[in-house]
């Protein structure tokens, strides 16, 4: 861990090697739990947070896992030497906020990761992606009431969030607006927020590109995937 001389910026660096034994996974083809016996991952991670000016804050993180392999596969389920599922080689995020005045704060950021494979590693993968987010926060009553809005996936990027060995995938959120009211004593504690109103929640189809839509450009981003349409979700609740 490194801190700047003026204590305005803090950086954490780490090299790691993780070994897992008998990790329990669900085989999506038979809907049964299997033990993966032994696998390892070796990499580097870093994060930095600080104030560029008294009003401008920045946070960033990055992880590089250059070596990840299955050392002892589950019987009949995985192959020796393959990269474990859902472990991208690169992933990171960058976020910045600016205090415009005493009551108003705004920010923006990005999150990205490189390609990854599903369970069983059938030979196809999802392409990497970058999404962009923004936020605005207004303190209506000092220390008592704050209004906050988040805009997720500004460019409406189409990407695979979860992958399955049978060729299906679940897309991540499309462009989404979240509005929150944070009352006294609840600031920055999402699980304890008294009211969350989800506006313009544009959830995509559960899997694939909708039938009848020209999805050629999007479909080529997912090597070997099948495109299957399921009923779309319309709403969900967040509670304690």
Structure confidence at residue 30 (pLDDT):
58
pLDDT over 70 percentage in the chain: 68
* Model confidence, pTM: 0.71
Structure confidence at residue 180 (pLDDT):
81
Handedness of CA 218, 219, 221, 226 (dihedral sign): positive
Give the pLDDT confidence of 41-94 residue by residue, as tens digits: 999 999 999 999 999 999 999 999 999 998 888 776 667 888 888 889 999 999
Tokens of 33: 């739990």
Highest mean pLDDT among 37-46, 80-89, 176-185, 202-211: 37-46
pLDDT value at 39 more than 50: yes
SS3 for 23-42 is CEEEECCCCEEEECCEEEEE
Q: What is the mean pLDDT of residues 4-23?
A: 91
Give the pLDDT confidence of 104-134 residue by residue, as tens digits: 999 999 999 999 888 666 677 889 999 999 9
């Amino acid at each position: 861990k490194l801190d700047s001389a003026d204590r305005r910026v803090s950086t954490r660096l780490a090299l790691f090697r993780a070994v897992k034994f008998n990790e329990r996974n669900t085989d999506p083809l038979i809907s049964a739990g299997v033990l993966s016996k032994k696998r390892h991952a070796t990499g580097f991670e870093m994060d930095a947070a600080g104030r560029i000016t008294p009003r401008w804050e920045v946070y960033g993180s990055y992880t590089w896992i250059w070596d990840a392999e299955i050392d002892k596969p589950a019987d009949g389920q995985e192959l020796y030497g393959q990269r474990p599922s859902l472990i991208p080689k690169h992933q990171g995020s960058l976020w910045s906020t600016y205090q415009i005045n005493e009551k108003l704060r705004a920010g923006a950021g990005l999150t990205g990761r490189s390609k990854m494979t599903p369970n069983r590693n059938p030979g196809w993968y999802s392409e990497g992606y970058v999404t962009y987010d923004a936020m605005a926060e207004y303190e209506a009553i000092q220390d008592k009431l704050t209004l906050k809005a988040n805009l997720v996936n500004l460019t409406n990027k189409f990407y695979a969030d979860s992958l399955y060995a049978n060729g299906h995938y679940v897309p991540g959120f499309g462009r989404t607006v979240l509005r929150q009211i944070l009352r006294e004593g609840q600031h920055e504690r999402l699980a304890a927020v008294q009211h969350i109103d989800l506006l313009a929640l544009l959830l995509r189809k559960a899997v694939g590109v909708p039938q009848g839509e020209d999805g050629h450009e999007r479909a080529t981003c997912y090597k070997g995937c099948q495109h299957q349409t399921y009923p779309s979700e319309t709403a969900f609740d967040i509670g304690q």
